[in-house]
């Protein structure tokens, strides 16, 4: 009998347990992170014994055997039989899981609250993966790792639309990291482990099974697709912690749970993390350098999938299908390692790459170029507001409004869903055109919050793509802009149900907020 079949059969026998509940959001799921309140015990978890059986099967199938030594379990009086493969995976994983404390600023000046969450170490140099909602209103934060004093952390990147964030601690030495697994072959009934900080109880462990695949949930206004469902207990403070398989690999990021059921808990799949990681970090945009390389996020090592023509990488001789095995002396195990190696780089830096090409080792040196910013336009004749066009039609995605005839035209102060509406508020679209004036040169993040689809372009660049049929959903994108007025286009459509459109931004010295009316212009 195959290993996977054994896992399935034993997994079927596991009993699902309960957990600890916290407040409900509008989508009938709850965030399992820093904002839970009114904790109450629902029921006791009852999966550990069964999971032990599954891991015992794994021990035989994989040839795992614990060897006692000078500091082995026999040395401290623990019977060998108790040191199960499950216990071994947990022991090996604990040093790579951090408990987070986040000081959260409130609306009143000088008022702060304390939130808790979890994170996993994804790179030995101190990079940790967590949920974006764990960092809500963060003023400062610290991470607690096994056997270490509390370590302050800084935020490297946040992506609210995917509820993902990367933070960094300075430990002074290499940290233990969790191996990154795959989630495209998860089996129903497969045993899993969650390690986290529920209710501030650092390094708590729960076990369960994969109880559902390809689930969709909403957390904090963000729609999260392709989630994995698990029966492993989740409580407030587990958010951002790892979902771990029987091989000790991270296969997900714990995010939320439902309250109208028993132990219905969700994690972002690690394959989704891989897919979104280049956008999450956006290293070139954040640090203003030009490299011109894309890597395959699902291949081993750092396999080059594309090299931009005329880019610094192309000039240095990097070719598609090259495999980046080392960058500035650091091993590259996967696409995540590659993107992390680009953090804090700047134009003029030299990257020493060791490539493998058709079995040959190829060393190259790439000098990073400077990423250009979008140039502003002349401001003569600009007037506050935007021009809009209203359309009628039933679409499942944004149409090409340039090919359609508008039923109404005019000017508005802000791009909203109310600029033009049909009588029943269904089956209509809007296109807003004009200019947006940024107060300072630098990196900006723009967001559209919409129901249904929306898109924001600055110049010829799509900055936010929030297209499709969906409930209220917030998505963002980065762009580097010079001070001044830039051509902008916002498009939106509504098919049925509720409708909403809002555009917000954040940038140099500018906290996240709705783009004010005084920033929008059109030319008379």
Q: Which residues carry out catalysis?
A: 133, 163, 239
How far is 225 from 162, CA to CA, in rounded Å?
Answer: 9
Measured CA distances, 16 to 45, 232, 261 (Å): 7, 8, 11
Q: Are strands 461-466 and 151-159 parallel, antiparallel or unpaired?
A: unpaired
Question: Cα–chain-centroid distance for residue 72?
Answer: 38
Number of C-beta neighbours around residue 107 at 10 A = 6
DSSP string for residues in 246-299: TTS-EEEEEEEEESSSSSEEEEEEHHHHHHHHHHHH-HHHHHTEE--EEE-TTS
Which residue in the block uniquely carries the two structure tokens 């999260």?
A: 224
d(C-alpha 453, C-alpha 499), whole Å? 10
Question: Using omega within 30 degrees of 0 as the cis cutoff, is the peptide bond preceding 510 cis?
Answer: no
- Strand intervals (E) in 368-453: 369-370, 382-384, 386-392, 408-412, 428-438, 442-451
Are 454 and 466 in contact by the 8 Å Cβ rule? The answer is yes
CA pair distance 182, 507, nearest whole angstrom: 35
Q: How far apart are CA 377 and CA 382, in angstroms?
A: 11
Closest CA to 293 of 303, 301, 285: 303
């Amino acid at each position: 009998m195959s290993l996977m079949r054994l896992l399935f059969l034993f997994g079927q026998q596991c009993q699902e347990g309960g957990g600890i509940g916290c407040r409900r959001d509008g989508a009938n799921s709850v965030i399992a992170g820093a904002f839970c309140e009114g904790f109450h015990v629902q029921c006791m978890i009852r999966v550990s014994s069964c999971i032990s059986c599954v891991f015992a099967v794994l021990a035989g199938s994989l040839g795992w055997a614990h060897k006692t030594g000078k500091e082995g379990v026999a040395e401290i009086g623990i019977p060998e039989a108790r040191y199960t493969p499950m216990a071994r995976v947990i022991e090996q994983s604990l040093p790579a899981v951090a408990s987070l404390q986040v000081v959260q600023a409130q609306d009143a000046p000088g008022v702060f609250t304390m939130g808790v969450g979890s994170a996993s170490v994804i790179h030995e140099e101190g990079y940790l993966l967590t949920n974006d909602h764990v960092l809500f209103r963060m003023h400062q934060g610290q991470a607690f790792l096994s056997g270490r004093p509390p370590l302050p952390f800084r935020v490297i990147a946040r992506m609210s639309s995917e509820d993902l964030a990367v933070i960094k601690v300075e430990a002074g030495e290499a940290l233990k990291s969790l191996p990154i697994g795959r989630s495209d072959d998860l089996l129903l009934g497969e045993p899993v482990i969650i390690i986290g900080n529920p209710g501030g109880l650092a390094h708590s462990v729960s076990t369960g099974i994969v109880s559902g695949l390809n689930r969709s949930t909403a957390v904090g206004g963000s729609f999260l697709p392709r989630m994995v469902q698990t029966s492993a207990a989740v409580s407030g403070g587990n958010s951002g912690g790892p979902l771990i398989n029987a091989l000790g690999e991270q296969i997900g990021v714990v995010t939320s749970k439902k309250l109208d059921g028993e132990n219905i808990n969700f994690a972002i799949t690690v394959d989704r993390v891989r897919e979104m990681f280049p956008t999450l970090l956006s290293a070139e945009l954040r640090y203003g350098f030009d490299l011109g390389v894309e890597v395959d996020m699902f291949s081993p090592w750092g396999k080059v999938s594309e090299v931009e023509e005329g880019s610094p990488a192309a000039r240095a001789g990097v070719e598609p299908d090259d495999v980046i095995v080392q960058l500035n002396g650091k091993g590259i195990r996967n696409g995540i390692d590659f993107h992390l190696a680009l953090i804090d780089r700047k134009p003029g830096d030299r990257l020493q790459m060791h490539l493998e090409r058709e079995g040959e080792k190829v060393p190259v040196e790439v000098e990073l170029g400077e990423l250009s910013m979008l140039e502003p336009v002349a401001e003569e004749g600009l007037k506050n507001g935007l021009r809009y066009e209203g359309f009628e039609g039933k679409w499942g995605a944004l149409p090409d409004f340039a090919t359609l005839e508008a039923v109404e035209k005019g000017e508005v102060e802000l791009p909203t869903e109310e600029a033009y509406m049909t009588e029943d508020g269904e089956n209509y679209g809007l296109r807003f055109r004009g200019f947006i004036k940024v107060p300072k040169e630098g990196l900006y993040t723009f967001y559209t919050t919409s129901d249904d689809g929306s898109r924001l372009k600055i110049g010829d660049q799509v900055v936010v793509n929030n297209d499709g049929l969906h409930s209220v959903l917030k998505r963002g994108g980065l762009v580097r802009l010079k001070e001044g007025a830039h051509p902008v286009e916002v498009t939106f459509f509504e098919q049925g149900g509720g409708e909403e459109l809002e555009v917000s931004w954040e940038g140099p010295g500018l906290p996240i907020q709705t783009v004010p009316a005084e920033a929008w212009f059109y030319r008379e």
